[in-house]
A and B are shown apart, each in its own frame.
Chain A
């Protein structure tokens, strides 16, 4: 018995393929992209969640109460 593999042409379009061609295909670019991504995601996520936290808990936290104590 012979194994026959039908040749499938991957369609190259969309961001997925762009990401593949320029980033995920090579380990070097993947490493750079994930490192940079980790830093930016960490930074923005912390900024955004801290902002949300400080908005919903406005006036209740120690850092704000401290200012009202002389």
Chain B
């Protein structure tokens, strides 16, 4: 009787567990697949990034090209205050390359007497900000300050897909959409009118490694570079995910064995009560 009740409870608990897991899975799936049709913006399409797999590293050659795009195009307006030249050493550049990149940059600094000076950069400098402050940045760009790009990859819905779609998504404004002087129409930007004009053009720059610099190639590379900047630990993180995933089966064996070892006594013991003459339990009426 008791055993049957216990078995029933167990079955019920398993049923509830399965139902809960299925519900949670279904919810996550539904949220992943929702189309957000009510948003007044065109959603970026999904692209097969070579770093989007569970165990995929960045394509460092692409990240390096992306830095060239950033330096020659984006750095005219945008800053990257969290990225310092030292971050490039032995991750995407040799030390000599990173030092040369830093030396090419003009850094606003203070001299020993507190006077503002300009000097060539060193490894410990952050990538320079083209504007003295946010007001100056906004004034130079029709009132909208170009945002810092250090963490931009993680700061927008769609991530890399969004940045790629944005950079390659400039069109003539449809009838009825008013685009002010110095602004541009881009359906991927919420609202459709952006203060950043189109930046990338076929052969707009020339890559050091000889890759043809089409617009889409530049957009792909600069997106990869921006993602690298936002997540410099990306490759290490995924490598550790792989190692931990590979280790889990071994831990599971040890834990399951340990549990069974500890429970063998409890599970295999049996109790029997024998009345002893003269010490019988009281009679029930």
B-binding residues in A (CB < 8 A)? 1-6, 8, 41, 45-46, 48-49, 52-53, 56-57, 60-62, 64-66, 68-69
Among B55, B209, B247, the residue within 8 A (CB) of A45 is B247
B67 to chain A, nearest CB (A): 12
User: Which chain A residue shows the least CB distance to B54?
Assistant: A56
Number of interface residues of B (CB under 8 A): 33
Residues of B within 8 A of A62 (CB): 60, 90-92
- Residue contact A46 to B243, C-beta cutoff 8 Å: yes
Residues of B within 8 A of A64 (CB): 60
Question: Do B239 and A1 have beta carbons less than 8 Å apart?
Answer: no
Q: Give Cα distance in the complex from A60 to B269, angstroms.
A: 59
- B246 contacts A49, CB within 8 Å? yes
Q: Within 8 Å of chain A (Cβ to Cβ): is B201?
A: no
Q: Is the CB of A45 within 8 A of B243?
A: yes
> When each residue 212-242 of chain B gets 1 if its CB lies under 8 Å from chain A and 0 otherwise, what string results?
0000000000000000000000010001001
Residues 197-208 of B, flagged 1 when their CB comes within 8 A of A and 0 if not, give: 000000000000
**CB–CB B269/A5 < 8 A:** yes
Any A CB within 8 A of the CB of B45: no
The CB with the most chain A CB atoms within 10 A, among B50, B53, B60, B239, is that of B60
- Specify which chain A residues have a CB less than 8 angstroms from the CB of B209 in the assembled complex: 68
The A-contacting residues of B in range 256-285, CB under 8 angstroms, are 268-276, 279
Query: Judging by beta carbons under 8 Å apart, are A60 and B246 in contact?
Result: no
Would you call B64 an interface residue if the criterion is a C-beta within 8 Å of the partner chain's C-beta atoms? yes
Tell me the complex Cα distance, A69–B56, Å: 23
9 interchain residue pairs of minimum CB distance = A57-B57, A60-B59, A65-B60, A4-B272, A62-B60, A49-B243, A1-B273, A49-B242, A65-B61
Closest residue of chain B to A57 (Cβ to Cβ) is B57
Is there a chain A Cβ closer than 8 Å to B72's Cβ? no
Residue of B nearest to A2 (CB): B274
Sample (24) of A-B pairs whose CB atoms are under 8 Å apart: A1-B273, A2-B273, A2-B276, A3-B272, A4-B271, A6-B272, A49-B239, A49-B243, A49-B246, A52-B242, A53-B55, A53-B239, A56-B53, A56-B55, A60-B50, A60-B58, A60-B60, A60-B61, A61-B60, A65-B60, A65-B64, A65-B92, A66-B94, A68-B61
A residues in contact with B273, CB < 8 Å: 1-2
Closest chain A residue, CB of each to CB of B271 = A3
**A2 and B92 alpha carbons, distance in the complex (Å):** 76
List of A residues within 8 angstroms of B94 by Cβ: 66, 69
Contact at A53–B242, with CB atoms within 8 Å?
yes
Report the bound CA distance from A57 to B250 in whole Å.
Answer: 25
State A60–B59 Cα separation when bound (angstroms).
4
A46: B residues at CB distance < 8 A: 243
CA distance A53 to B57 in the complex (A): 8
B92 contact set on A, CB distance < 8 A: 62, 65
Q: How far is the CA of A66 from the CA of B276 in the complex (A)?
A: 86
Taking A60-B61, A62-B91, A66-B94 as contacts, is the C-beta distance between A45 and B246 under 8 angstroms?
Answer: yes
